[in-house]
Amino acid sequence: MDYTPREIIAAFRAGLLEKVLKSNTIWLCSSCYSCTVRCPSGIKLTDVMYELKRLAVEFGLAPKDAKAPVVAELFAEIVVKNGRIAEVPLVGKFMLRTNPLGAFKMIPRATRLFIRGRMPLSSHKIKGIAELEACTGAMTAPMISGLHAGSAREERS
Ligand code: SF4
């Protein structure tokens, strides 16, 4: 279901959190920060949208047919694992999850990119991955576990 940002905030204030977290609207936010920069009341709406997305994934309430939550989940997994994004695993896993037949159609283009050296198949971890894990471990662990099974919701019920 799509709502306007105003309706999202109104629903949130009315305590209709599940309605908010199930909506497509929060996934349409492209993080342009226009609202945050312009808000006369200093409301950081972009950060609110980020938090609503995180909660939607954690509680397993993100729309099942939406692709943005899949991208967010895969992006977080790869960055936590490598300390950086790796485009090939991201696109490959995304296509397999959302459109497996489409993945096969991309093979000719991917082959051309690989031959030209534009598509490395291996992904590298950053040098300070251990330090990064130490910094982000406490922060990312609940999110990642929530991303995989909606486990946080099950644990709380
Ligand atoms: S950052 Fe604000 S203005 Fe930009 S897309 Fe998200 S909600 Fe809309």
pLDDT at 137 over 80: no
- State whether the beta carbon of 99 lies less than 6 angstroms from ligand 1: no
115: Cβ below 6 Å to ligand 1?
Answer: no
**Average pLDDT value for the chain:** 83
**CA–CA gap between residue 94 and residue 67 (Å, rounded):** 9
* Residue 26 Cβ contacting ligand 1 at under 6 Å: no
129 Cα: distance to centroid of ligand 1 (angstroms): 32
- Asked whether the whole model's pTM tops 0.75, one would answer no
| Mean pLDDT value of segment 135-157 | 48
Distance CA 1, CA 23 (A): 5
d(C-alpha 50, C-alpha 5), whole Å: 13
d(CA 128, CA 132): 6
Say if residues 59 and 153 touch (Cβ distance below 8 Å). Answer: yes
> CB atoms < 10 A from the CB of 106, how many?
14
Percent of the chain with pLDDT over 70: 86
Higher pLDDT, 123 or 144: 123
List the structure tokens of 140. Answer: 């990312």
Mean pLDDT of 90-110: 89
Note the pLDDT tens digit of each residue in 41-96.
998 999 999 999 989 988 989 998 889 999 988 998 898 889 988 888 899 899 99
pLDDT of residue 4: 82
- pLDDT of 108 above 70: yes
| CA 130–ligand 1 middle distance (angstroms) | 34
Q: What is the mean predicted confidence (pLDDT) over 114-130?
A: 84
For 135, half-sphere exposure in the C-beta direction (CA atoms, 13 angstrom radius) is 7
| pLDDT recorded at residue 144 | 45
Q: Where are the domains of the chain?
A: 1-62, 67-157
148 vs 19, which has greater pLDDT?
A: 19
Judge if the beta carbon of residue 43 lies within 6 A of ligand 1. no
